[in-house]
Chain A
Amino acid sequence: GAVVSQHPSRVICKSGTSVKIECRSLDFQATTMFWYRQFPKKSLMLMATSNEGSKATYEQGVEKDKFLINHASLTLSTLTVTSAHPEDSSFYICSANKPSGSTSTDTQYFGPGTRLTVL
């Protein structure tokens, strides 16, 4: 298997503050990582694709100025929720593509998720 870590696992913050979430691939290099959010009992919603050394690609309807993504190295991507509001409260999950030599056979491994609560 492959290990992806995420930190912090839980965060509670006041409205208006910014929160940074880290995603690390521990035993492989990931040129591509993905950020999802998930509301209770709902499916995963892809927010953005994070590419090492270049700008992230955001899905339609996701505000790039609110959800800042930085993929500074082959093992680390960060998501910063800026000026968080209660409606941003959600479960944020990252995943990393473990390369196999062909993008058609890569496997996505998920981090354990970060539960964000904005008061």
Chain B
Amino acid sequence: GQNIDQPTEMTATEGAIVQINCTYQTSGFNGLFWYQQHAGEAPTFLSYNVLDGLEEKGRFSSFLSRSKGYSYLLLKELQMKDSASYLCAVRVHTPLVFGKGTRLSVIA
């Protein structure tokens, strides 16, 4: 089977940095995705890693280590609007296999 683990909830302060971890054990690997989902809305694509290393996109960065089955999403200069669920998803084949999501609360 496929297993993707990420923390259920996290809280961080406005302006700070937060790292959301994701570990996976899957039967194959063709890339790891991070999505952001606000309450009552559909997920929106944030980032994609298929090779080891760090991908940076503005305030958001995503890291992948395939040998460790590990990824993290790093959010810098947190804003209140970053309060949302963050979904880690692995492509084994089609479709993506999703983790349960991490609910991030940004407080003042």
Contact = CB atoms under 8 A, between A and B. Distances in A.
Q: Do A and B come from one complex?
A: yes
Interface of A: 1, 6, 32, 34, 41-44, 46, 49, 91, 93, 95, 97, 103-113, 115
Interface of B: 30-31, 33, 35, 40-45, 48, 50, 87, 91, 93-96, 98-101, 103
Nearest to A98: B45
Contacts of A97: 94-95
Given A109-B45, A112-B41, A43 B101 contact: yes
Residue from B30, B96, B98, B99 whose CB has the most chain A CB atoms within 10 Å: B96
A89 B35 CA distance: 24
Interface of B: prevailing SS: loop
A41 B103 CA distance: 9
A107 B42 contact: no
Contact of B96 (A1, A6, A91, A108): A108
B62 to A, nearest CB: 14
A1 B44 CA distance: 10
